[in-house]
Structures are given as C-alpha cells and as structure tokens.
Amino acid sequence: MCKPQKSGILVLEKQNLMNKTKILVTGGLGFIGSHTVVELIQSGLEPIIVDDLSNSELFILDRIEQITGSRPKFYPYDVCDSDKLKTVFSENKNIKACIHFAAKKAVGESMKIPLVYYRTNLVSLLNVLETMKEFNADCFVFSSSATVYGQPEHLPANESSPLQKATSSYGSTKQMAEDILEKVSATGSLKTLSLRYFNPVGAHQSALIGELPKGIPNNLMPFVTQTAIGIREKLTVFGNDYNTPDGTCIRDYIHVVDLAKAHVNACNYLLTHADSISYDVFNIGTGKGISVLEIVSAFEEVNKVKVPYIIGSRRDGDVESIYASCSKANQILKWEAQYTLEDMVKDAWNWEKAYRKHTK
C-alpha cells in the first residue's frame, strides 16, 4: 500500500508487504499451479514458486505478473533436491504453508515408466514434508486426484467412497501419498487437506496462461484444441461401446480457475483452523458428468469450429464413468464451482489461439 507523504514521495508501507502470508507453491508455473498462483496473489497471499520447468515454461512467470501486477519469487529448482529446497525456506523466513503440485501426472506415461513416477512423485513429497518440518511450516495442501477412486461402485463419488485399487502407477502414487499424509498428520506435526481433482480444463479468461502439454497431449481437452487449430489431424475417441448414454466415457470436467480458487479456500481454511484440523480430503469437481462426445459437440457449438474425430479402441486404464459429490467442499471450504461447460471450452480455445500466436 502506498501513502503520499508531505514531500510527495510515495513511501511503501513495508510492514504491509512484510505481513503477507508466504505460501510455497511447488510446480507453480504448471497448468493448475500458475492459475493458483494468480488467485493466491489476488487474494492477498504471497506465493513463492519452486518449479524445475520440466512441464512448464518460464514465460508463464511474466504472464502471472501481467495478470496480477506482481511478480512472485521464483526458484528454478527440482523439489527432489533437498538442499535446494532448504535454500528456499532459509531465504524466505516464515513460509506458513505449502501447496504441492510438483509431480508427474500422465496416466498413460505412468504405465510405461512406473519407477520414474514412484521416485519423482514420492521423493518430492517426502522432501517437501521433511523440509517443512525442519522450518516449522505445518499447513499442507496436496494435489490429489479422482484417480484414487478407480471406478467407484456408486456415483457420484464422495470422499467416503471406498478407494479401488488404482488402475495406473500415477493413481497409485496419489493413493500412497494420501496414506503418507494421513499418517504424518496424525502425529500432530502437519495439517493437511488433500484435494481430489476431477478433470481440470479451460484457461484464464485473459488467455495469458493455460495448459501447456509437452509433445502429444495425453488429455482430452488439449487434444481437442490442437485438432481444432490444425496441429493434430483428428481426435481419436477412445471407445464408444461403454455403458453410457452415447457410449463414450463420462468425466467431471472442472474449470481450472474454479480449481485454483479451491486451493485458496483450502489454504485459508488451514491457516484459520490450525487447532482443529489434522487430515481431511475434499472432492473438487462440478458434480456433473459429461461424456467425451458431449465435450466435442460443446466445443464445436460454442467456438464455431469443427473437431474431426474417429472412434478408436478403448484406452487401458480408463474408467467408464466418474463424477463428484462436492457438498463437503461446498459446506466446509465455502467453495463451489462457478464456471460452465461453455466457459471451459471457450477459454480453452481462446488460450490455444493466443498461445499459437505467441509461439509463431
């Protein structure tokens, strides 16, 4: 905050900046991480980013500054490097909380290189937890996933739905991480909220940040936008013989900005309920199940662009249908998804077009 003084010189109220609550955001330049950093800044918190740029790009930091007017501290470090992590904590006294995004997250890839997934996703988690303990930071928001449910017996999936055996190495790293967090939090040294995301899609309305898949996209929405813009010749729909209304798989797609806001609410909840929380999990979705073909037709209709597709065979590891019950997050985190399917496909398309212009 700046106050004009008699001399007319603006004096920055240092104590104002100094008092902002510091939140470590690992993977903070990634798809969900960057959107969460924007929302943290805009809600008056001070994110500190650690990101090794293995699945993100440095220009996103400039874009965060462009959107918010503030440039968060950034460390180009691998969270698997405990010495580097200690440097971040020692250079930023009083980091209160951590939102941990840094992990590998492609279901299909995880089946091809499981050891890389177990090492990266578990060592990074353990490093962060051990360093937080050393520096007395005890609030932790974990990026979990609906994958932990497998194919639920009953829908919508709620947080007490039994977890089926994960169908991918990616999913089992999330199940193992949740188990580690629950056990560590039970000692009283950590307060943790695990957020089980459903399917994050879309982009910031400014079209300055969005999803940046490296190589051929694993996920549906970036494949749709890259097909629509002509980078991919056609989309392959992985199976239309499921027991669903149009035969294609059903998911709970959630706008990435809604998901980012859920992290801010989760952080604030931890910071204001430190004495009454140990470990808890929350579904973060919309509660609506949408099929692959419904995504394609909504995208074509809203954006007035064709998405050529063929029907291919089923993809290993896919569950037939999953969508969330989010009443727990609605009530406790005071969070509810606001963006519609139309917003998701429009914002995803605007980002794709803007990004291609930027890379020309």
- For residues 112 and 218, give the distance between their C-alpha atoms in angstroms, rounded to a whole number: 13
Is residue 200 a contact residue for ligand WQD (CB under 6 A)?
yes
Beta bridge partners of 280: 193
Q: Of the candidates 73, 133, 315, 328, which one interacts with ligand WQD according to CB under 6 A?
A: 315
Residues 228-247 that bind ligand WQD (CB under 6 A): 235-238
Query: Contact, 194 vs 282, CB < 8 A?
Result: yes
Question: 191 in helix, strand or coil?
Answer: strand
Under the criterion CB under 6 A, does residue 219 sit at the interface with ligand WQD? yes
Q: Which is nearer to ligand WQD, 118 or 238 (CB)?
A: 238
176, 167, 192: which is closest to 118 by C-alpha?
A: 176
Q: Which is nearer to ligand WQD, 223 or 355 (CB)?
A: 223
Residue nearest to ligand WQD according to CB distances in the complex: 249
| Token code pair at residue 286 | 């919309």
Q: Is 145 in the site for ligand WQD (CB under 6 A)?
A: yes
Which is the catalytic residue, given 170, 197, 242, 339?
Answer: 170
Yes or no: say if 243 and 318 are a contact pair by the CB < 8 Å rule.
no
Q: Which stretch binds ligand WQD (CB under 6 A): 19-27, 179-187, 219-227, 300-308?
A: 219-227
Q: Could you give the C-alpha distances from 357 to 204, 208, 230, 304, 329, in angstroms and in order? A: 17, 11, 13, 19, 38
Give the whole-angstrom CA distance, residue 235 versus residue 222: 10
Nearest approach in angstroms of CB 165 to ligand WQD is 15
| CB of 295 vs ligand WQD, minimal distance in Å | 8
Query: Is the Cβ of residue 95 or residue 99 nearer to ligand WQD in the bound state?
Result: 99
> Which residue number, 199 or 350, has a Cβ lying nearer to ligand WQD?
199
102 or 107: whose CB is closer to ligand WQD?
107
- Interacting stretch for ligand WQD, rule CB under 6 A, among 60-68, 125-133, 193-201, 275-283? 193-201
- Using only the alpha carbons of the chain, give its radius of gyration: 20
Q: Where are the beta strands (DSSP E) in the chain?
A: 2-4, 10-12, 22-26, 46-50, 73-75, 95-100, 139-145, 191-197, 199-201, 235-238, 250-251, 253-255, 279-284, 290-291, 309-312
Residue type at 18? Answer: M
Contact 187, 214 (CB under 8 A): no
Query: Of 23 and 235, which has the nearer Cβ to ligand WQD?
Result: 235
Interaction between residue 223 and ligand WQD (CB under 6 A): yes
Q: Closest distance between ligand WQD and the C-beta of residue 93, in Å? A: 32
Q: How many chain residues are in contact with ligand WQD, going by CB under 6 A?
A: 20
Instruction: Pick out residues in 147-186 that bind ligand WQD (CB under 6 A).
Output: 147
The angle, 0 to 180 degrees and rounded to 10, between the axes of the packed helices 292-303 and 341-359 is 70
Specify the stretch interacting with ligand WQD by CB under 6 A; choose among 73-81, 91-99, 117-125, 192-200.
192-200
- Whether 170 is catalytic is yes
Taking CB under 6 A as the criterion, the residue among 22, 35, 96, 105 binding ligand WQD is 105
Q: Which residue, among 341, 317, 348, has the nearest Cα to 106 in the 3D structure? A: 317
The residues of the shown chain that bind ligand WQD, judged by CB under 6 A, are: 105, 107, 145, 147, 197, 199-200, 218-220, 223, 235-238, 249, 251, 292, 315, 318
Catalytic residues, by residue number, are 170
